[in-house]
Structure 1
Amino acid sequence: MRISELAEVSGVPVHTLKYYLREGLLMPGVPVSRTRADYGPEHLTRVHLVRALVEHGGVGIAGVHRILEALDSPPPSRHELLGVAHGTLVGPAEAQDATPPDPAVTAVVAALGWGVEDCVPVVRRLSEAVVRARAAGVELPDEDLLRYAEAMRAVARVDLDVAGRARSAEEAMRTVVLGTVLVDPVLVVLRRLAQEAESATRP
């Protein structure tokens, strides 16, 4: 199909598709003349992916590039795959940040006994969030932080069960990355609904 047909099928305007092409987010079509190229199902799949990441996931162009590179060359093991997915979503600037996490937050992470203390960029992001919340006057004692963490462990089990059903490393990587980016908003809304349901059961 021509780029105009790709635009019609995907719901993405031609000028946006050309932008994706210029930025390398969409692979070139197969040339059929000097001014025309044909696009296939793989292009439609890529457009849907990029659109989901940019418009719904709020991922910047540099982040989309990192995700696409990871999807094109996924690591062999599922655990390594998860590490690449997290590194991709954290981003190289954050990964190279030398600012150490808050020791109090690091201690809470260690108390979980998960053995994830070496996931420095992610622990640093958690530290920043916790410090910011506490600085704003939100009471977040270590006991409650541990309870939140255990609740998230249950969510993680669902995430990895879903990824485990993937038929290939590439599909698993796609599931982990897109699931993290696009399911996070779902979890936020479910938290609101759960709060409403739990509140209705209490005096």
Structure 2
Amino acid sequence: MRIAELSRETGVPVPTIKFYLREGVLPAGERTSKNQARYDESHIRRLRLIRAMVDLGGLSLASVREIVAAIDDQESDDDQLMGRVSKSLIPEVDAVDDASLAAVEAVLAELGWEDACSHPSARTLAAVLAAGRELGHDFAPTFVAHGRACEEVARADLDYVEGKDVDQMLESVIVGTLLGDTALAALRRIAQTVESHRRYGVDEDE
């Protein structure tokens, strides 16, 4: 397909596609003449991945370039690539106190996730814990139960990306994580309402 058709298929404007080509985040097409090239399905998949990283993930072009370079050199396995993309979606957290970090590490140890103590989200959890304690609430006891539930969520997430090629897989990680977080928040609120009714609701027949 020509670049105009690639644009129609992906919804990415031709000037943006040319920009990605110049920046090296989109592989060059097969040259058919001095000023024309042919593109294929792999370019569609890569463009969708780039747009997911930029538009949904909010990643800088430098970060996108690093990720696609890791994909293309084929030295990183799927687990490393997924971890790299997933971590890039996590906002940086300011300094957190040692006590909160220690409490989070204890929770991760109880879950059997000791190897995850260096994960950026451990600092996010510590910041949440510290903020809660400042307001008079200690959420640490709920983290283990939430972690167990998230193991089921993670299995569902990985089942969803299973069998996809690497570009589709990483796009699914980005879209699934960002939209999935919203979906999980909605499901949590529904579940809270249902559980509240089960515990405290009054049967209309009584």
TM-score by length of 1: 0.73
Q: Deviations over 1:100-156 (max 9, x none)?
A: 772222222223233335534342333234334544x27243211222212112212
Are 1:185 and 2:182 matched, yes or no? yes
Secondary structure of the corresponding residue to residue 12 of structure 1: coil
CA contact (8 A) 1:108 1:142 kept: yes
Amino acid at match of 1:85: M
CA gap of 1:193–1:83, structure 2 versus 1, over 3 A, is farther
Amino acid at match of 1:174: L
Give the Cα–Cα distance (whole angstroms) in 2 for the partners of residues 182 and 108 of structure 1: 26
CA gap of 1:175–1:50, structure 2 versus 1, over 3 A, is closer
Secondary structure of the corresponding residue to residue 166 of structure 1: coil
The 5 A counterparts of 1:119-130 are: 119-130=118-129
Give the Cα–Cα distance (whole angstroms) in 1 for the partners of residues 12 and 168 of structure 2: 26
The 5 A counterparts of 1:162-201 are: 162-163=160-161, 165-166=162-163, 170=166, 174=170, 177-178=173-174, 179-201=176-198
Are 1:150 and 2:145 matched, yes or no? no
Give the Cα–Cα distance (whole angstroms) in 1 for the partners of residues 63 and 168 of structure 2: 18
In structure 1, stretches of 5+ residues that fail to align are none
CA contact (8 A) 2:105 2:114 kept: no
Q: Which residue of 1 aligns with 2:36?
A: 36
Q: Which residue of 1 aligns with 2:204?
A: none
Larger radius of gyration: 2
CA gap of 1:124–1:171, structure 2 versus 1, over 3 A, is same
Secondary structure of the corresponding residue to residue 116 of structure 1: helix
Calculate the aligned-residue CA RMSD, in Å: 3.4
How much does 1:9 deviate?
Answer: 1.8
CA contact (8 A) 1:54 1:60 kept: yes
Give the Cα–Cα distance (whole angstroms) in 2 for the partners of residues 145 and 174 of structure 1: 27
CA gap of 1:63–1:198, structure 2 versus 1, over 3 A, is farther
Q: Which residue of 1 aligns with 2:102?
A: 103
In structure 2, stretches of 5+ residues that fail to align are 202-206
Give the Cα–Cα distance (whole angstroms) in 2 for the partners of residues 29 and 89 of structure 1: 29
Identity percentage of aligned residues: 36
CA contact (8 A) 2:45 2:168 kept: no
Amino acid at match of 2:148: E
Number of residues paired by the alignment?
193
TM-score by length of 2: 0.72
Amino acid at match of 1:109: L
